[in-house]
Amino acid sequence: MCSSVVLLILRRKLGRDSQALVGKPEAGNVHASLLRALETASPGARRLFFSHQIKKTAGELFHSSLTLSAKRKDQTDNSRDGSLRIRKEKPCPVEAPYVPPRPKPPVEARYVPPRPKRPVKSVPDRTIEIFDGMTLVELAKRTGQTVAYLQEILVNTGEKVVSEFDPISIDIAELVAMEAGVNIRRLHSTEGAVLCPRPPVVTVMGHVDHGKTSLLDALRQTSVAAKEAGGITQHLGAFVVGMSSGASITFLDTPGHAAFSAMRARGAAVTDIVVLVVAADDGVMPQTLEAMRHAKAANVPVVVAINKCDKPTADPEKVKIQLGSEGLPLEEMGGDVQVVQVSAVKKSGLDKLEEALLLQAEMMELKARVDGPAQAYVVEARLDRGRGPLATAIVKSGTLICGQHVVVGAQWGRIRVIRDMVGMVIECAKPAMPIEIEGLKGLPMAGDDVTVVQSEERARMLSDGRRKKQEKDRLKIASDERYLSQESDTTEDAPEKPQSVELPIIIKADVQGSGQAVRDALKNLNSPQVFVNIVHVGIGPVAQSDVDLAQACRACIVGFNIRSPPSSLGLAADRANVK
Ligand code: GDP
């Protein structure tokens, strides 16, 4: 068969004469016909046959299957047809109008709106309340485990096994409960303790650009202590405004709903009153409503500060009507929410705002135990090059004394130094005082509780237990999320699932709070097309280790409010192709 193909080629190459010479090839005599044709052909034609081109074509054809040859023929025919068509459709010389190329989407994948996420119920929902002096029987009832099981945990933690009716300390109860897999809330009894009035802790919330930061700055400058100390220069995350009357108000210096809800999510009910800032020239906006919802959910009373009243376009009355129609019971309308008109820029109305806050605090009868071990909450944490991890905390009750051993979230340490808001070293801190603690072994998170423990051993044990529990919860959340995503892949439009691009990111921020906020903001960018993978969140400037980590996981580094890295590090990052 192959020879017959050569014959056909030969006929085509040798021209019309060869038709007569070669004749019609028949099965069996093809080789003979080929030889005859070559013998009788003119010398020129013979040369042509043996020319390189013919040899090559024949060789190719001898070694290729017939189907392949047929395919090739088809292709050449098609291309010939195509080229003909192209020649026919050649555009006329008339100049066509320029059509700019359509911009390509950054990710070449079909847009699929994000599906509403199902809440991941990973962490055991059960939270039990524990207190000092509870018995194992009581703990077994609350955890839903047997006394024998809890006693076994006690043995494993190296604690002395007590009778099931003996009182155990709150730290031991926490350890056992965590091992049993439940979340705990510590109850601090005030029975028999002397309660003293304490200053209110205030958070400022409102829509962006309505003047929250300006108002906090203006209030900070009104503080008597700040004036005496020549102003508050350091950013602590909280400050106290002391008035000439001797009364004081503690302001959380972290405006924004993210900080407020992050603290609440970690069980830190630090805020007593919310100042809702509304710009008089802008009125009620989406984040104003969001702030109202947050305050309502936290059951925290609101004082409205209508800001920017110095502006000619200001219309405070309109703002009041808007707030009233949104369901906020203003005092003027027969409700109990006070409204104050202020100007953060002109510093007017600030005294009235402070008076309103003190009145609200008086109505709430805020009191706290002053004696005994302190209970405090972390507001912000940062890493200082010389001083190590620093945590800003607000004491809720009791007195925090320098030298005490503390467990802060999953971290522990011995308090080396306590500083007040103007940076002065103090011996102890009383309720509602914002302080900076030095001496922790690691960085805690905003909203972590500060618990005073008896010894270093107890502090280590409790922090180890908490870390183990955190890790267990984290793994459970991760496995639940994976399970949910696999489930949705198999159940819903799995074949149409678009290709997702992973974006690994390393975050470096000045303080823990900012780091968490940036992490949450970036996580919100997750979509079916882009999966934001936060590889690491660190505090402090970008270091060589961050560049190494970024190179290893092909991540980019996002810095927030940190010093720009040295040029050598920039060069190293360029070399490693790290953005
Ligand atoms: P935040 O985003 O709510 O923290 O708002 P900022 O405090 O950053 O303020 C946003 C803008 O409003 C800034 O340009 C301020 O100067 C301006 N601003 C804040 N308070 C006042 C005020 O009382 N009067 C006037 N005229 N401008 C103000």
What's the confidence (pLDDT) of residue 258?
64
Confidence band, pLDDT 50/70/90 cuts, at residue 358: very high
Which CATH topology does 375-463 take? Elongation Factor Tu (Ef-tu); domain 3 (2.40.30)
pLDDT of residue 61: 46
pLDDT of 341 > 90? The answer is yes
Dist. CA 326–CA 323, nearest whole Å: 5
Per-residue confidence (pLDDT) for residue 524, from 0 to 100: 78
DSSP strand pairing (449-453 vs 375-384):
antiparallel
| Per-residue model confidence (pLDDT) at position 84 | 43
pLDDT at 147: 85
- Read off the tokens for 133: 């002096």
The per-residue pLDDT for 342 is: 93
Supply the pLDDT for residue 402.
92
3-state secondary structure 355-401: HHHHHHHHHHCCEEECCCECEEEEEEEEEECCCEEEEEEEEEECEEE
Q: Is the pLDDT of residue 379 over 60?
A: yes
Q: Are 226 and 296 in contact (CB under 8 A)?
A: no
Say if 195-367 and 499-579 have the same CATH topology.
Answer: yes
Q: Round to whole Å and give the CA distance between 509 and 538.
A: 7
Q: What is the pLDDT of residues 517-539, one digit of tens each?
A: 788 788 877 777 777 888 888 87
Place of tokens 């940190």: 562
Token pair belonging to 510: 């000045």
The predicted-structure confidence for 478-490, as pLDDT tens digits, reads as follows 677 666 666 655 5
> What percent helix, strand, coil does the chain show, rounded to 5?
40, 25, 35
Q: How far from 2 is each of 38, 234, 559, CA to CA, in Å?
A: 17, 92, 71
Q: Is 503's pLDDT higher than 70?
A: yes
Cα dist from 132 to 137, 161, 169, 269, whole Å = 14, 17, 5, 21
Q: How far is the CA of 292 from the centre of ligand 1 (A)?
A: 20
Could you report the per-residue pLDDT of 205-223, keeping only the tens digit for each? 888 889 888 898 888 877 6
Q: Is the CB of 326 under 6 A from ligand 1?
A: no
* Ligand 1 pocket member 214 (CB < 6 A): yes
What is the per-residue pLDDT for 470? 81
- Average pLDDT of the chain, as a whole number: 76
pLDDT tens digit sequence for 284-335: 998 889 888 888 888 889 999 999 999 999 999 999 999 999 889 998 888 8
Give the H or E element holding residue 128. Answer: strand 127-131
Q: Torsion angle of alpha carbons 443, 449, 454, 460, nearest 10°? A: -40
For 49-103, the pLDDT digits (tens) are: 555 444 454 444 444 445 555 555 555 555 444 444 444 455 555 566 777 777 6
Of 160, 193, 153, 207, nearest to 177 by C-alpha is 153
| 415, pLDDT greater than 90 | yes
Q: Which CATH architecture has domain 195-367?
A: 3-Layer(aba) Sandwich (3.40)
pLDDT (tens digit, 9 = 90+) per residue, 231-283? 444 556 788 888 777 788 998 876 566 666 666 666 567 889 999 999 999 98
Q: Which of 7-11, 180-184, 450-454 has the lowest mean pLDDT?
A: 7-11
Q: Rounded to the nearest whole angstrom, what is the distance from the C-alpha of residue 504 to the centroid of ligand 1?
A: 36
Which range of 44-48, 104-108, 434-438 scores highest in mean pLDDT? It is: 434-438
Q: Which of 158, 138, 149 is nearest to 181 (CA)?
A: 149
Contact 139, 168 (CB under 8 A): yes
Dist. CA 11–CA 24, nearest whole Å: 10
> How many CA atoms lie less than 13 Å away from 23 in the CB half-sphere?
13
CB 343 within 8 A of CB 306: no
What is the spatial distance between Cα 308 and Cα 285, in angstroms, rounded to a whole number?
15
Question: What's residue 221's pLDDT?
Answer: 79
Q: Residue 380 and residue 377: Cα distance in Å, rounded?
A: 9
91 versus 337: the higher-pLDDT residue is: 337
* CB of 288 shorter than 6 A to ligand 1: no
Q: If you take atom 9 of ligand 1, which residue's CA is the nearest one?
A: 211
Contact 411, 463 (CB under 8 A): yes
Q: Is this structure's pTM higher than 0.75?
A: no
Does pLDDT of 17 surpass 50?
no
d(CA 120, CA 41): 86
Structure tokens that stand for 100 in this block = 């700019």
Average pLDDT rounded to a whole number, residues 541-563: 83
pLDDT over 70, % of the chain: 69
For residues 157-185, average pLDDT: 80
| pLDDT band of 412, cuts 50, 70, 90 | very high
So what's the pLDDT on residue 307?
Answer: 93
- At residue 257, the pLDDT reads 66
Mean pLDDT of 427-449: 88
Rounded-to-integer distance, Cα 485 and Cα 531, Å: 12
Crossing angle (nearest 10°) for helices 286-297 and 257-265: 20
The residues spanned by each domain of the chain are: 2-69, 137-185, 195-367, 375-463, 499-579
What is the DSSP-derived secondary structure letter of residue 100? P
CA of 50 to the centre of ligand 1 (A): 92
Q: What gap in Å lies between CA 81 and CA 557, rounded to an integer?
A: 55
Sign for the CA dihedral angle at 53, 59, 62, 68 comes to: negative
Calculate how far, in angstroms, residue 328's C-alpha sits from the geometric centre of ligand 1. 24
- What local confidence, expressed as pLDDT, does residue 64 receive? 47
- Minimal-distance CA residue to ligand 1 atom 14: 209
- CATH (residue range 499-579): 3.40.50.10050
| pLDDT value, residue 38 | 55
User: Among 203, 209, 288, which is best to mutate for testing ligand 1, by the most ligand atoms less than 8 A from CB?
Assistant: 209
324 phi and psi angles, rounded to 5 deg: -60, -45
- Nearest-CA residue for atom 17 of ligand 1: 211
340: pLDDT strictly greater than 60:
yes
